[in-house]
Amino acid sequence: MRIAFLSLFLVLLVASSSFAHYGAKYEPPDGKIYHGSGWDYNGSQRIYEDMFPGDHRPLILQVNVSIPGTRGTDVARTVQAFTRNITHPDSQYIEYSMHWQGRDATVMLDSIYVFTDQWDRYVDTLEAAFRQVNRPFFFRIGFEFNGSWNPYHPWIYPQAFRKLVLELRQRGINNFATVWCYEPDADASFADSTREGWKWYPGDDVVDWFGLDLFQVEHFDPALPDSQRGGLSRKGKSEAFLRFAEARGKPVYLNEFSSIHTVSTPDSLDPNGDDGRADWEAFFAPFFQFVENHPNIKGWNYIDVDWNVVGHYGEQGWRDARIEINRVLRENWVEWMIGERLINAGWDIAQELKIEEHSGSQIADFSIRSTYPNPFNSTVTLTYSVAPRFVESVELGVYDLSGRLVERLFTGRRTAGEHSVIWNADSVPAGLYIARLEGGEKMEARKLVLVR
């Protein structure tokens, strides 16, 4: 017996026109969502896959690693993470989640990576492995950046994120889309900035996707309030993070999604499906409504494990989140995953990029892509892209709020592609300024905040 509201809900969801598209790397078409699987614990990803018919296996498989970790990191282990037997190279892709973590989980190495060359050799390792595999993938850097359980350093973590991405790009490694990930049990400082720059955000030019991890209904239930006791509730923090993603023009991937406080009841103990229906109504129905409310959510990885037997999580009260052991949960979940909006195994995540390359217009826009850091207190780097039709006449300048030109940063011919320029603002007072890029009849502008 199926839950009565599910079919109607699916019809309404598919018919919805409240979609969003940002043109991010490996972003699916409007209204589509990537189906992924997280945390392969004792073969759990394969068990999860076996629930689905034919080519409706999950498209994305999550791999979690630490650099350097307890066993270190080498090319062979990295390649293995991309090519193990569970991965079907003709139809599935990897989301590669990476810590900078020492042997002690309380020691985070973002500061060592930023300020020394001690761990730079691992960039060589990643370069060699990524070249050998040569497959598109999602790259979640640092897991949940400001969670107390991942004790990274504010203002330093974003530098580590930037350094890793830029060094890989400089080596010609471009077959990945980055993910910057938050979990709403952490504080809501994700959008904070000072004269030193962003506290946690690495910058628009190195972040392709935002990530959000959801484990409890309190993280997302639309019926719950956004604030409590004068501050944001956990659901309110999720909402605020999604608004920040929309403001930065980034799609959202739910990298880790699991019902840690819902006890899936085995079929043998739930012959009439009453527990399964109650669990669906309590956890999964609010989740799907949350997804419907936020069209910028473009993918998720469900972690289908019994948390009671995974490390220390059972001691923390995490429970059995396996969907396949309960008929009601299993049938309704499979029906949703094989629906029209979910993208399953067999989809080429890079196909839109290949279309652009084939058409000869990979750089098809004219825009200021990022300003970093912003706010800033001395210098700011402006990165902008120029399409072929604008190469003959391009001008980039900084203006005050009255429209007066403060400094012309570039004027003349530019080759098609992406360019960067640094503005040194030591000679002007603190305040708001406008960076303006002009070419032909096209104009793009960004606000700059100079603080002292």
pLDDT in tens, 124-161: 999 999 999 889 999 999 999 999 988 899 999 999 99
By the 10 Å C-beta count (0-12 exposed, 13-18 middle, 19+ buried), 164 is classed as buried
- CATH number, residue 79: 3.20.20.80
Three-state DSSP class for residue 435: strand
Placement of tokens 């959510």 in the chain: 297
Instruction: Give the separation between CA 199 and CA 190, rounded to whole angstroms.
Output: 7
Q: What is the mean pLDDT of residues 195-216?
A: 93
Residue % of the chain over a pLDDT of 70: 88
pLDDT value, residue 72:
57
Three-state DSSP class for residue 245: helix
Q: Which of 308, 336, 356 is the last residue of a domain?
A: 356
pLDDT tens per residue, range 421-447: 889 999 999 888 999 998 877 788 888
Does residue 5 register a pLDDT over 50? no
Task: Determine the residue type at 235.
Answer: K
Instruction: Give the separation between CA 64 and CA 139, rounded to whole angstroms.
Output: 10
Whether pTM > 0.75 for this model: the answer is yes
Which of 256, 225, 226, 254 lies closest to 240 in space, CA to CA?
226
pLDDT value, residue 272:
95
Domain count, the chain: 2
Instruction: Give the separation between CA 396 and CA 435, rounded to whole angstroms.
Output: 7
Indicate whether 116 and 94 sit together in one domain: yes
Indicate whether 338 and 378 sit together in one domain: no
Instruction: Give the separation between CA 158 and CA 161, rounded to whole angstroms.
Output: 5
Which position has the higher pLDDT, 255 or 194?
Answer: 255
Instruction: Give the separation between CA 385 and CA 391, rounded to whole angstroms.
Output: 10
Indicate whether 63 and 209 sit together in one domain: yes
pLDDT value, residue 449:
86
Indicate whether 242 and 262 sit together in one domain: yes
Indicate whether 285 and 397 sit together in one domain: no
Q: Identify the domain containing residue 126 by its residue range.
A: 4-356
Q: Which of 341, 356, 371 is the last residue of a domain?
A: 356
Reported confidence tier of residue 297, pLDDT bands at 50, 70, 90 = very high
Indicate whether 16 and 155 sit together in one domain: yes
pLDDT value, residue 16:
40
Name the DSSP class of 64.
E
Indicate whether 368 and 405 sit together in one domain: yes
pLDDT value, residue 314:
84
- Strands annotated E in 227-349: 227-228, 231-232, 252-257, 297-303, 342-343
Indicate whether 303 and 427 sit together in one domain: no
pLDDT tens per residue, range 389-409: 656 678 999 998 878 899 999
Indicate whether 182 and 234 sit together in one domain: yes
Instruction: Give the separation between CA 428 and CA 449, rounded to whole angstroms.
Output: 12
Instruction: Give the separation between CA 192 and CA 180, rounded to whole angstroms.
Output: 15
pLDDT value, residue 329:
95
Indicate whether 135 and 211 sit together in one domain: yes
Placement of tokens 């043109």 in the chain: 23
By the 10 Å C-beta count (0-12 exposed, 13-18 middle, 19+ buried), 158 is classed as buried
Instruction: Give the separation between CA 20 and CA 348, rounded to whole angstroms.
Output: 20
Partnered with residue 95 across adjacent β-strands are 62, 138
pLDDT value, residue 305:
94
Mean pLDDT of the chain: 86
- CATH number, residue 411: 2.60.40.1930
Q: Which of 317, 335, 356 is the last residue of a domain?
A: 356
Indicate whether 340 and 415 sit together in one domain: no
Indicate whether 155 and 304 sit together in one domain: yes
Does residue 342 register a pLDDT over 90? yes
